[in-house]
Amino acid sequence: MKCSVRNAECGVGGGAVAWSRPTSQALCFTLLEVLIAMAIFFMAIFAILGLVSQNLRIARSLRCTEVDFSTVAAELALTNRLQEGTYSGNFGDFYPGAEWTADVFLYATGGLFQADITVVWPRDKTISEERASILLYRPESAVRPGAIPR
């Protein structure tokens, strides 16, 4: 005959079945189980940290290290009036250590200016330099009377 769990009666012998509580040994984990769980946890954590480190290294390598003169050219192009002379500056936090100079002079009559831009930046223990020239048409610029274009 089968025992009924609900009423804890058994047909064999007509007596009640005594259910005992599990011992304290069955309620807790053994030291070996805890060590195995911790080993699995730490292996997973170190694998994730390795992936994060690798992704940060790849992201740093994708960062553009070449300084481009186009930001200086764009800054000069935003002005409505140009004056002949030499301008200089740096790129701030975008390119630390990089500096630029722009020599602006009248190229032709009628407000056509030429800007010779030089960008200098440190790279791999050497100094790199890039030069470019742009023409800017600014008819509203004040030109000295009798100025002769170069």
pLDDT band, very low/low/confident/very high, at 125 (cuts 50, 70, 90) = confident
The reported pLDDT for the residue numbered 69 is 78
Question: CA torsion sign, 129 to 130 to 131 to 136?
Answer: negative
CA distance linking residue 9 with residue 30, whole number of Å: 34
Q: End-to-end CA distance of the chain, in Å?
A: 116
User: What confidence score (pLDDT) does residue 124 get?
Assistant: 72
Question: How confident is residue 1, by pLDDT bands cut at 50, 70 and 90?
Answer: very low
